[in-house]
Chain A
Amino acid sequence: MTNHWVDIKNADLILIMGGNAAEAHPCGFKWVTEAMQHRKAKLVVVDPRYTRSAAVADYYAPLRVGTDIAFLAGVINHMLSNNKIHAEYVKAYTNATFLVNPDFKFDNGFFSGYSEEKRTYDKSTWAYQRGKDDFVLVDETMQDPQCVFQLMKKHYSRYTPELVSKITGTPKEQFLKVAEYIAGTHTPDKVMTICYALGWTQHTVGSQNIRAMAMIQLLLGNMGRAGGGVNALRGHANVQGITDMCAYSEVLPGYLGAPGDGDVDRETYLKARTPKPLRPNQMNFPQNFSKWHTSLMKAWYGAAATKENDFAYDWLPKRDTAYDSLAIFDRMFQGKVNGFICQGFNPIAAIPNKKKLGTAFAKLKYLVVIDPLRTETAEFWKNYGAFNDVDPSKIQTEVFRLPSSCFAEETGTFTNSSRVIAWKQRAVEPPGEAKVDSEITARLFLKLRAMYKAEPGAFADAIQNLTWTYANANMPAPEELLREINGRAIEDVLAPVDPKAPPVPKGTPPTVLVKAGEQLPGFAMLRDDGSTACGNWIYAGCFSQAGNLTARRDLADPSGLGNYPGWGFSWPANRRVLYNRAGADPAGKPWDASRRGIAWNGKAWAGVDVPDIAPALGPESGAGPFIMTPEGVARLFAVGLMNEGPFPEHYEPFETPVGTNLMCPTNPKAVSNPAARVFKGDLEQFGKAAEFPYAATTYRLTEHHHFWTKNSISNSSVQPAQFIEIGTELAKEKGIHNGDMVKVKSMRGEIKATCVVTKRIKGLDVNGKKVHHVGIPIHWGFIGVAQNGYLSNTLTPYVGDANSQTPEFKAFLVNIEKA
């Protein structure tokens, strides 16, 4: 979330699309009902299903699964053609004025640079025009046909309401009504927030779904403002924290890009990640990359990371290819993986195509499952009848199951969706012999380290030199780890020499900002000379000399906006609303006096939040509010980063019920995302509408959390058994009655469950064809106190988003019949 949970109460319009906040985040949803009651805010829900969010909404519109970009692109078109944008904001805070390389093209579904064989783009034409000073050329009038604004306008003019309705199945009037609601917040006194979740990410165009929305929020001037922002409502209680710790192979803690084979040495590596400002006077914050990275290496390797050995740069493994979950399990499926350590994760239930996963696990030599609960993954080898029809005697995997603690038994921090790190205390010991995860990790690592000491093997310098200064080596204390994450000064941290300051007399001792050995107050103190250590730069400041700030419980809310600056610690730098500089106009005056974030007081930025800009960098500097980009402004046109194009474009799901992409009906190669990765063998596993005519989607229900709560009696009693939801029209067509057992089949398998026939799912008119949806809640499996059932991922396709590789759980094809 760019903003935070309580901040939702400051919105005038709440759009829920690509998510179902009432069901998946009920306690966060209270700030929606709060806004509705006390701010008279409107709630608009767009979803293929009429959900429990829709049940309390002011307006609901249906759309076909996987067509969100078409819908949002139509909204962009509506805003641009009716001039309902926050023009001053767009001009000042986005790259709308930037000129783009004249070679950039979009033609019949492809952007310029596409390679059909590689299924990737050469992105070199998706670039800005540079001047002689290497800064980007701009056209302040936004009239140049090559400026981002004009390109965007041209690109989205194709999304007429009629065409949007044909693609999405949303009746035109309903689409226009939603577009009007959204566009209505373009004035500075109105703010919209968007709450989305996996309904947008779990698509092959997932990242672009979100980009499309981000563009709308930028055009409306809603970023950086109280009650605005683009708010991802994330899945797990600490999924944000683990994301921040970067348990991904492509990034190091704090989102520092991890080295690949091309980053042959530290210099190359740092250079590629330290951008130069693209416009004058920009903060270009990533220019500090080397400080963050060096401090991380010092945190991990301490004294062993020296200038001489490039701060142990070579000890970091380099990636040769992608190692996201889908890639890992595909490698496993191909027999390229021998061991698999699975901590607190149930992939056979959570990754698409259960059959492929089961086959992959059976090829392992050893599998280690660390979990507080029995999971299907740990028992993939066991026969559970139709739910898991395997022969254990034929599976040669050695499986270990290690009992870990649950939240109640572990002290430490969780980071919520709005980046607030909060300390929690354990109440009891783990049951039986169960141990907390950090202890299991420590013991296993120390065991390996001892083995390498006793019997040398492959390269072990990184193993032997890993800092391990914990009082009890087997049980690193959470306080010790959080202090390490926060970072400390190894040597005195000195104030940088200001070239503009008058020269100081010789012999004057330099100003010491942080004394050696002290905890760092924030990431501004990080250095790249080895004098600081920091396990995760964005968390710097959370455990400073002032103590453990994540444990703060101050309920003061001076602004009344719900920022609670003294509650826990919000990364970065305890900032509650990201990009809050954009909440004020270019002169530094808040756009809306009733929702003041920060303002320029003549000398500094000040207000109810920690400014998201250097405190003394005044409006006259021209520094933009988006300090993490070298442009200083937000990107309506994404240079370089996105894999399928700089503008979000509609592509059909890989399993499409209509078969053609109405945005480029003559290009069969661009029906679905042309840059999405498809593994060998998986292409054949995609179903066609002739055989599987119905658009299916998987989802959570409010009564359950993934595959955990099926182990809880109370939760199981309020939603005991698996079911399938279909609309009354489809039920009538198929002769299915409410409560009947039905068989749902996809190209990858079939499941059986009770059918719930509902008026809440309607057949949609898509380009003259009726498209029906089949809803598949995910929460059941063959282990639990709830009624056993099939894993819903028996049905789902093994393909992910072109950028994040998040699987396409939300749009695929099935057939359904009475069982």
Chain B
Amino acid sequence: MTMQTSMDVTRRSATTTPSSSIRETPKVAKLIDESKCIGCKACQVACQEWNDLKEDIGMNVGVYDNPADLTASSWTLMRFAEVENETRLDWLIRKDGCMHCADPGCLKACPSPGAIVQYANGIVDFKQENCIGCGYCVTGCPFDIPRISKKDSKAYKCTLCSDRVSVGLEPACVKTCPTGAIVFGGKDEMVAYGEKRAGELKERGYQKAALYNPAGVGGTHVMYVLRHGDKPQEYSGLPADPKVSPMVSLWKGIAKPLGVAAMGLTALFAFLHYVRVGPNDAEVDNDKH
């Protein structure tokens, strides 16, 4: 689906005041229909080609997942899981990559102003020129997506092809997807389409089919339709209820102002103490015996 979207920055890492957010432009979303995904990895290759990435030639380690994990040059990865129960064998294939959370943990964790931004259309983008390579985004991400490059110590992940979206094109993975398992459009339309697909899958006998748009991160701009929506973990560990880790929330949430306040108060108390009590000078010996 083609749509006009805005690439205005509405949220910026390590910035305490709000960014421009007055314009009301539509949010975008990518929907991955797992029931149509054949794990062909076209999205992986298209992503490499569009973004001029060259992944290393690795080894086979006994699985179809290649490379073995997301890397700074592989922003999306097909993950394969063989799940067997009494009645049937499933080869669950999931396209892993940035979920573009509405409430992004990476952006919260990032200490460098403007290294992570969120556009008005919902895309979460890393700005490598501002990235300091600390890896906090990695700890902030509930989906374990960002990777720090060994080459330049910058963090990388899927941009949802912000450069394509900005000129009205769909992301490269969406365009290339041979079976139409990946589609792109307005967030609302994608939610509606995803729910329709889940309904169709239920009719086909997948009673638990569902749209995956986790509320714990405010919803995501990359969503899944899962045939086994009740067990997202079976899809190579897709979290059932992702949230920014409480540890990260604590650290980047309340700890920040509290810490600064504690330090400030310590300084203030010391200052006031000096003002009130004055120096403790052995030579003067003002001790009250």
Chains A and B in contact, CB within 8 Å: yes
Give me the interface of A with B, judged by CB distance under 8 Å: 22-23, 26-27, 29-30, 32-34, 36-37, 40, 50, 52-56, 58, 60, 702-703, 713-723, 737-740, 753-760, 785-787
Chain A contacts for B66, CB-based, 8 A: 703, 717-720
Chain A contacts for B197, CB-based, 8 A: 37
B277 to chain A, nearest CB (A): 69
Question: A785 to B57, Cβ gap below 8 A?
Answer: yes
Chain A binder among B21-29, B154-162, B177-185, B214-222: B177-185
The reply on B111 being an interface residue by CB < 8 A is no
Name A28's closest neighbour in chain B (CB-CB): B178
Given contacts A56-B36, A56-B37, 10 further A-B contacts (CB under 8 A): A22-B38, A23-B40, A30-B178, A56-B38, A713-B57, A716-B57, A717-B74, A719-B66, A759-B84, A786-B57
| Residue-wise interface mask of B (75-92) relative to A, using a CB-CB cutoff of 8 A (1 in contact, 0 not) | 000000010100001111
Selected from B36, B59, B90, the residue in CB contact (under 8 A) with A33 is B36
Question: B36 to A718, Cβ gap below 8 A?
Answer: no
Question: B93 to A52, Cβ gap below 8 A?
Answer: yes
**A702 CA / B178 CA spacing, docked (Å):** 12
List 14 A–B pairs whose Cβ atoms lie within 8 Å, in order of A's numbering.
A33-B179, A33-B181, A52-B39, A52-B91, A55-B91, A702-B38, A702-B41, A703-B40, A716-B57, A717-B54, A721-B59, A722-B60, A739-B61, A756-B60
The reply on B152 being an interface residue by CB < 8 A is no
Q: Which 4 A-B pairs have the closest CB atoms?
A: A739-B62, A26-B178, A738-B62, A717-B55
Question: A718 to B44, Cβ gap below 8 A?
Answer: yes
Selected from A37, A715, A756, the residue in CB contact (under 8 A) with B64 is A756
Name B91's closest neighbour in chain A (CB-CB): A55
Question: B55 to A754, Cβ gap below 8 A?
Answer: no
Known contacts A50-B91, A760-B82, A760-B91; is A717 also within 8 Å of B58 by CB? Answer: yes
Name A721's closest neighbour in chain B (CB-CB): B60
Question: B55 to A714, Cβ gap below 8 A?
Answer: yes
Question: B35 to A56, Cβ gap below 8 A?
Answer: yes
The reply on B42 being an interface residue by CB < 8 A is yes
**A679 CA / B49 CA spacing, docked (Å):** 47
| Residue-wise interface mask of B (191-218) relative to A, using a CB-CB cutoff of 8 A (1 in contact, 0 not) | 0000001001001110000000000000
B72 to chain A, nearest CB (A): 13
Q: How many A-B residue pairs have CB under 8 A?
A: 130
Q: Is chain B's binding surface mostly helix, strand, loop or mixed?
A: loop
A536 to chain B, nearest CB (A): 31
The reply on B281 being an interface residue by CB < 8 A is no
Question: B48 to A758, Cβ gap below 8 A?
Answer: no
Question: A55 to B36, Cβ gap below 8 A?
Answer: no
The reply on B142 being an interface residue by CB < 8 A is no
Which residues B6-27 have CB closer than 8 A to chain A?
A: none
Known contacts A26-B40, A55-B39, A56-B35; is A717 also within 8 Å of B56 by CB? Answer: yes
The reply on B67 being an interface residue by CB < 8 A is yes
Known contacts A29-B179, A713-B57, A714-B45; is A755 also within 8 Å of B38 by CB? Answer: no
**A715 CA / B204 CA spacing, docked (Å):** 34
Question: A22 to B60, Cβ gap below 8 A?
Answer: no
Selected from A34, A50, A787, the residue in CB contact (under 8 A) with B180 is A34
Chain B contacts for A56, CB-based, 8 A: 35-38, 179
The reply on B254 being an interface residue by CB < 8 A is no
The reply on B63 being an interface residue by CB < 8 A is yes
B80 to chain A, nearest CB (A): 9
Q: How extensive is the interface on chain B, given as a class?
A: 35 or more
**A787 CA / B39 CA spacing, docked (Å):** 22
**A733 CA / B105 CA spacing, docked (Å):** 47
A359 to chain B, nearest CB (A): 30
Chain A CB within 10 A, most for which of B48, B60, B82 = B60
Question: A29 to B62, Cβ gap below 8 A?
Answer: no
Name A756's closest neighbour in chain B (CB-CB): B62
Question: A718 to B45, Cβ gap below 8 A?
Answer: yes
B48 to chain A, nearest CB (A): 5
Give me the interface of B with A, judged by CB distance under 8 Å: 35-42, 44-45, 48-49, 54-64, 66-67, 74, 82, 84, 89-93, 178-181, 197, 200, 203-205
Question: B91 to A58, Cβ gap below 8 A?
Answer: no
Selected from B49, B60, B63, B89, the residue in CB contact (under 8 A) with A714 is B49
Name A27's closest neighbour in chain B (CB-CB): B178
Known contacts A717-B48, A759-B89; is A29 also within 8 Å of B38 by CB? Answer: yes
A236 to chain B, nearest CB (A): 18
Question: A52 to B38, Cβ gap below 8 A?
Answer: yes
Question: B40 to A714, Cβ gap below 8 A?
Answer: no
B286 to chain A, nearest CB (A): 77
A484 to chain B, nearest CB (A): 36
Chain B CB within 10 A, most for which of A33, A53, A60, A786 = A33
Chain B contacts for A702, CB-based, 8 A: 38-41
Chain A CB within 10 A, most for which of B37, B48, B62 = B62
Chain B contacts for A60, CB-based, 8 A: 89
B66 to chain A, nearest CB (A): 5
Known contacts A33-B36, A58-B204; is A754 also within 8 Å of B61 by CB? Answer: yes
**A379 CA / B62 CA spacing, docked (Å):** 30
Name A740's closest neighbour in chain B (CB-CB): B62
A369 to chain B, nearest CB (A): 25
Chain B contacts for A718, CB-based, 8 A: 41, 44-45, 55, 66-67
Known contacts A34-B180, A718-B45; is A26 also within 8 Å of B38 by CB? Answer: yes
Chain B contacts for A737, CB-based, 8 A: 62
Selected from A37, A717, A739, the residue in CB contact (under 8 A) with B200 is A37
**A58 CA / B60 CA spacing, docked (Å):** 30
B156 to chain A, nearest CB (A): 16
Question: A53 to B62, Cβ gap below 8 A?
Answer: no
Chain A contacts for B39, CB-based, 8 A: 52, 55, 702
A57 to chain B, nearest CB (A): 10
Name A38's closest neighbour in chain B (CB-CB): B200
Question: B41 to A703, Cβ gap below 8 A?
Answer: yes
**A753 CA / B205 CA spacing, docked (Å):** 39
**A740 CA / B205 CA spacing, docked (Å):** 38
Chain A CB within 10 A, most for which of B38, B48, B66, B93 = B38
**A23 CA / B80 CA spacing, docked (Å):** 15
**A22 CA / B93 CA spacing, docked (Å):** 13
Question: B48 to A714, Cβ gap below 8 A?
Answer: yes
**A702 CA / B177 CA spacing, docked (Å):** 13
Chain A contacts for B89, CB-based, 8 A: 50, 60, 759-760
Chain B contacts for A714, CB-based, 8 A: 45, 48-49, 54-55
Name B45's closest neighbour in chain A (CB-CB): A714
Name B181's closest neighbour in chain A (CB-CB): A33
**A721 CA / B36 CA spacing, docked (Å):** 27
Chain A contacts for B38, CB-based, 8 A: 22-23, 26, 29, 52-53, 55-56, 702
**A723 CA / B61 CA spacing, docked (Å):** 9
Selected from A40, A54, A717, A753, the residue in CB contact (under 8 A) with B91 is A54
Chain B contacts for A715, CB-based, 8 A: 45
A184 to chain B, nearest CB (A): 16
**A300 CA / B169 CA spacing, docked (Å):** 49
Chain A contacts for B74, CB-based, 8 A: 717
Question: B42 to A787, Cβ gap below 8 A?
Answer: no
Chain A contacts for B55, CB-based, 8 A: 713-714, 717-718
Chain A contacts for B82, CB-based, 8 A: 758-760
B87 to chain A, nearest CB (A): 12
Name A738's closest neighbour in chain B (CB-CB): B62
B149 to chain A, nearest CB (A): 16
Chain B CB within 10 A, most for which of A36, A720, A756 = A720
B140 to chain A, nearest CB (A): 28
Chain B contacts for A55, CB-based, 8 A: 38-39, 90-93
**A464 CA / B117 CA spacing, docked (Å):** 72
Question: B45 to A754, Cβ gap below 8 A?
Answer: no
Question: A756 to B63, Cβ gap below 8 A?
Answer: yes
Question: B49 to A723, Cβ gap below 8 A?
Answer: no
Chain A contacts for B203, CB-based, 8 A: 40
B62 to chain A, nearest CB (A): 3
**A37 CA / B203 CA spacing, docked (Å):** 11
Name B49's closest neighbour in chain A (CB-CB): A714
Chain B contacts for A36, CB-based, 8 A: 36
